[in-house]
C-alpha cells in the first residue's frame, strides 16, 4: 500500500495510465481484426481501406510505447502481404 504522498500520486497515475493503455490496446486489436475480416470476406477494396486505418493506429501505439516498434513493423508487414496476395 502506498504510504507517502508521492507514492499515492504515482498509484493514481498508474491506474489512469493503465485504463488508457487498455483502451488503446483494444482499439489496436479491433483495427487489426477489421483488416483480417475484410481479407476473409474477399473484399480487396475494403481490406485496403481497413489496412490504411490499421497502419495509422499501429504506428500510434508503437510511438506511445504500448507495443514495440518491431512488433508494429511485423504486424504491418504481415497484413500488407495478406492484402497484396488477394486477387
pTM (two decimals): 0.85
Average pLDDT, the chain: 96
pLDDT tens across 7-41, in order?
999 999 999 999 999 999 999 999 999 999 999 99
Find out whether 76 and 58 touch, Cβ atoms under 8 Å.
yes
Domain parsing of the chain, residue ranges: 14-85
Lookup: cell for 67:
507495443
Per-residue pLDDT of 31-76, as tens digits, reads 999 999 999 999 999 999 999 999 999 999 999 999 999 999 999 9
Cα–Cα distances (Å) from 27 to 2, 13, 34, 63, 85, in that order, read 31, 21, 11, 15, 25
Domain 14-85 has CATH 3.30.470.20: no
Amino acid at each position: 500500500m502506498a504510504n507517502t504522498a508521492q507514492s499515492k500520486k504515482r498509484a493514481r497515475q498508474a491506474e489512469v495510465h493503465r485504463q488508457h493503455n487498455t483502451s488503446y490496446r483494444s482499439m489496436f486489436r479491433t483495427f487489426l481484426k477489421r483488416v483480417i475480416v475484410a481479407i476473409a470476406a474477399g473484399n480487396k477494396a475494403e481490406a485496403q481501406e481497413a489496412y490504411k486505418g490499421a497502419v495509422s493506429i499501429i504506428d500510434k501505439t508503437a510511438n506511445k510505447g504500448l507495443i514495440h516498434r518491431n512488433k508494429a513493423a511485423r504486424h504491418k508487414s504481415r497484413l500488407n502481404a495478406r492484402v497484396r496476395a488477394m486477387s
